[in-house]
Structure 1
């Protein structure tokens, strides 16, 4: 019996560790898979997905900038995916596409792993794209005191607030954050991929603030460095979130949850060695 076929679609995608991560999960659970990273043109995701399905694909992960388009293409959505308006995991059954979003699971699991308290916390989410959309339902489920969505373009943050319609959610532009205080700041923009950071004031950080960048690199991201320089209590990258959301995706495809911690440890070691 030939291995089941999986892939991750994104643009860019060469930096993806998903093929390695899912192979570790497959090894843990004794299943055979082939998992590839696919660079889809920004206007060619649907075409690439259909080609993958035609070639017998069993499931796919979806990363930036295709999560919202994937949401529109799926025939059936999980409750979390419906709420978020973004899909990062597709289960393929014949021509039927089931869409889910495991980003929120990965983020919350990693925050708990790092000792962060989310209940009754004042949380700031930077960015209003697919990455932010995907984690909002999971963050709200933790019952924070407030969840503020801030974006360079305030109208996008306001639109996201209106989409969720939750009284805990506030929204604003980056330039409206001057006097606010937060227990947890999550960077859901793509700025970290290029060692940049969102243009937000340093006054949002105090000695009790935990700062989390949803991207990761071998060394601290630009956002993490900036937060550390301004006295954040703890700065965390998104490596644990990446492995956690992947594990949840794997469980959707195979019905079994793999172990997350050993893969985080090994991947961190690989990064430190430059491999």
Structure 2
């Protein structure tokens, strides 16, 4: 079978390495490639995918919502979210799913066992944020807070959350048990930070869904403040594992996937 990940930029992605490690561990003769598709070329997505005869593909920033009009069917949860990160191709039909939220929350529960009672702030209101918020909403008792640069981004949100500007979030950081960055700020080793952490309480767990670099500027600031930090590695592994299950119906070797990614992140 043939698979891929599409996004822009995509050179930083370790999805091919991770999935190929799983294929090898399971003795499967599958392939997985990274396809850089700029937004201005997205109208050609059907032809691009067809030319590679793919059986399925993942979608990352900035295409998780842009893919929707091209799907023939969509899983109920992904439809509610309005964002898709996994597509399964069956007899030429594209079926969309979202495994981001499940993947992230599975990992978060291992580092914050009392997740049900946590006051959580999510930074960003894009596709990844929607996926995570949707799953957290089923687990967490207090109402979730989501902050974004522009409030217009919430126009297509059906989930009931506390909607904040980034400035409001900065002023109230001390109220949260967990802060999760879902924006691209800090990706590919840039030094961008979505908000200042001046009002951060030292008890707060600070998380970033980015996994490369392993410590974004956002996480480094939090760590310097004495906070526990948690990056997006587990989310990356878990969402990839869920994608593989969706495509093949087979159980993945998640340990092989994780160890391979860790080795690459460490430069081995």
* Same-fold status (TM-score > 0.5): yes
Question: Residue 247 in 1 paired to residue 244 in 2?
Answer: no
Contact kept in structure 2, 1:84 and 1:135, CA below 8 Å: no
Residue 122 (structure 1) aligned to one of 114, 119, 123? 119
For the pair 1:220 / 2:212, whether they are aligned, the reply is: no
CA RMSD of superposed structures (Å) = 1.8
Q: Distance in 1 between matches of 2:251 and 2:111?
A: 20
TM-score by length of 2: 0.92
- Aligned-pair CA distance for 1:65: 0.6
- Deviation string, structure 1 residues 192-220 (Cα, Å, up to 9, x no partner): 212311124531x2122111101022451
User: Which residue number corresponds to residue 175 of structure 1?
Assistant: 167
Q: Equivalences for 1:17-56 in 2 at 5 Å? A: 17-56=14-53
Q: Which has the higher contact order (CA 8 A, sep 6+)?
A: 2
Give the number of aligned pairs: 264
Q: Which runs of 5+ in 1 are unaligned?
A: none
Aligned to 1:195: 191
Distance in 2, Cα, partners of 1:55 & 1:271: 28
Tell me which residue corresponds to 2:136.
Answer: 139
SS at match of 1:87: coil
Q: Which runs of 5+ in 2 are unaligned?
A: none
Aligned partners of 2:69 and 2:132: how far apart in 1? 18
Describe how 1:72-91 pairs up with structure 2 within 5 A.
72-91=69-88
C-alpha distance in structure 2 between counterparts of 1:63 and 1:229, whole Å: 30
1:62 CA displacement: 0.6
1:55-97 Cα shifts (integer Å, max 9, x gaps): 4210011111111011222111112201111111000112211
Q: How far apart, CA to CA, are the structure 2 residues paired with 1:9 and 1:17?
A: 12
Change in 2 beyond 3 A, CA 1:263/1:72: same
